[in-house]
Amino acid sequence: QTGLYFIKWLVLGSSVGALAGLASAVFLTSLNWATETRMAHSWLLYLLPVAGAIISFFYFKFGKNADKGNNLVIEQANGAIEEAIPLRMIPLVLMGTLATHLFGGSAGREGTAVQMGGALANQVAKWFKLVKNERSILLICGISAGFSSVFGTPLAGTLFGAEVLVIGLMRRDALFPSFVAAFVGNLVTLSFGIQHHSYAIGIIPELSVLLLLKVLVATILFGLTGLLFSRLVHFFKKTYQSLFKNPMLKSFVGGLVIILFTFMVGNQKYAGLSLELIDQAFAGVSGAFDFIWKLLFTALTLGAGFQGGEVTPLFDIGATLGSSLAHLMTLPPAFMAALGFIGVFAAATNTPIACFIMGIELFGSEGAVFLFISCLISYLCSGHLSIYSAQQIGMPKNQLFKQ
């Protein structure tokens, strides 16, 4: 009986994993091309308003519910009234994300991978005629496989899928299926020669009361920054929507605003994924206020209807903030950048265990206690709003929030 369970979910999970891994490989390869092209031709930024208008036109004309993005996948995995996750979501989000990055918007990539994974899982569920709860598990597989393959972190992917749907609960019955999907997805993506960045946490400072106090203060700030990010994305989305009834006009103006801000800062370092910011943060040479600029650029980009995702910008924001705090607190920059990297992410997504595991996968186990503190404290400080409005609250984070 347990044998049957294993075989069933090995087959289903691997199918979703393989498809999502393939999609991620195509996506990451073309994203690399888009990033390099943009860096080589800085004038592409001037086309951002037009690109935005075109993305929004396609979503408006063909998107229907695909417009809901990540939230559609989360809603459906949570078992909302059944609604298809359409296959057209894949070309839409893929093209939308590539255009956003090619023309200098500031965005991430996990949203794209998760939506492609979700749409593919929805398709597999149809083929196998799965019942409601099984479909729900398969959608979690899609989320896990997308996340895992895009970042090269299969265990974080597994737990992200199980943890992101509901605050305070973990879908433990989905762990095996989503692990299979995440594991296979990652291998498939790697098999196409995709390489993931690696970061070294460096020296872990020796434990002391002073160090704990510094880390506590820093992680509270990580949590508040994550909160600020979620609030700001929601705020810009609402504001843009109420100002411009026409989505094409909205994204066009949104693109103009990005150009304006780019002139203000005088360079394009906040465009695209900004992976260099993370390298600079770990080396201790990022700018003191890089985090706030990256936060603003990303919120403005996503608020105006561009595509991509939030997670890589959250890594940028966290790592640069951590590095800035390291200078103030006379702590090693790489150590603090690593804590910020996962802490701000945990705060904005409400997935502390997945983020902790990601920390272990990326930075090793030597600083495990600090990684755990960072995820836990910033998660507790970020309130119940996350970047995913479809996320449910299963259990209040703490007693005081209940009131």
Subset of 116-145 contacting a second copy (CB under 8 A): 133-134
Pick the closer one to a second copy by CB: 169 or 285. Answer: 169
Whichever of 92 and 137 has its CB closer to a second copy, that residue is 137
Integer-rounded Cα radius of gyration of the chain: 20
Among 92, 98, 155, 311, binds a second copy (CB under 8 A): 155
CA–CA gap between residue 92 and residue 118 (Å, rounded): 14
Please identify, using beta-carbon distances, which residue of 169 and 275 lies nearer to a second copy.
Answer: 169
Q: Give the count of alpha carbons within 13 A of 381, CB side only.
A: 23
CB 55 within 8 A of CB 251: yes
Q: Which listed residue (1, 208, 242, 330) binds a second copy by CB under 8 A?
A: 1
| Structure-token pair, residue 75 | 């809603």
Is residue 245 involved in binding a second copy (CB under 8 A)? no
Q: How far apart are CA 164 and CA 125, in angstroms?
A: 20
Residue (223 or 333) nearer to a second copy, CB: 223
* Interaction between residue 175 and a second copy (CB under 8 A): yes
User: 36, 83, 173, 276: which one contacts a second copy (CB under 8 A)?
Assistant: 173
The strand ranges marked E within 153-211 are: 166-167
Minimum CB–partner distance for residue 323 and a second copy (Å): 23
Q: Is residue 192 a contact residue for a second copy (CB under 8 A)?
A: no
d(CA 233, CA 301): 9
Which of 78, 154, 79, 76 has its CA nearest to residue 115? 76
266 contact partners, CB below 8 Å, separation of at least 6: none
Q: Closest CB to a second copy among 155 and 277?
A: 155
Nearer to a second copy, 44 or 376 (CB): 376
Question: What's the N-to-C CA distance of the chain in angstroms?
Answer: 45
Of 147 and 306, which has the nearer Cβ to a second copy?
147
Q: Check residue 2 for interaction with a second copy (CB under 8 A).
A: yes
Beta carbon of residue 8, minimum distance to a second copy (angstroms, whole number) = 8
| DSSP-derived 3-state class of residue 372 | helix
Q: Exposed, middle or buried: residue 49 (CB in 10 Å: 0-12, 13-18, 19+)?
A: buried
Count Cβ atoms below 10 Å from residue 299 Cβ, excluding itself: 23
Interface with a second copy in residues 219-238 (CB under 8 A): none
Question: In a 3-state reduction of DSSP, which class is residue 393?
Answer: strand
Nearest to 141 by CA among 19, 3, 2, 307: 19
CB-wise, 19 or 376, nearer to a second copy? 376
198 near a second copy, judged by CB under 8 A: no
Binding-site size, a second copy (CB under 8 A): 40
Looking only at residues 6 through 25 of this chain, which bind a second copy when binding is defined by CB under 8 A?
6
Q: Using the rule CB under 8 A, is 199 a contact of a second copy?
A: no
Residue type for position 53: A
99 φ, ψ (degrees, to nearest 5): -65, -45
Binding pattern for the stretch 345-374 against a second copy, x by CB under 8 A and - elsewhere: -------xx------xx--xx--xx--xx-
Go through the chain and tell me how many residues it has. Answer: 403
Helix (H, G, I), strand (E, B) or coil at 24: helix
Give the range of 108-116, 121-129, 171-179, 298-306 binding a second copy by CB under 8 A.
171-179
CB of 292 to a second copy, least distance (A): 22
CB of 379 to a second copy, least distance (A): 9
Distance CA 51, CA 314 (A): 24
Q: Would you tell me which residues interact with a second copy (CB under 8 A)?
A: 1-2, 4-6, 133-134, 154-155, 158, 168-170, 172-173, 175-176, 179, 183, 352-353, 360-361, 364-365, 368-369, 372-373, 376-377, 380-381, 395-401
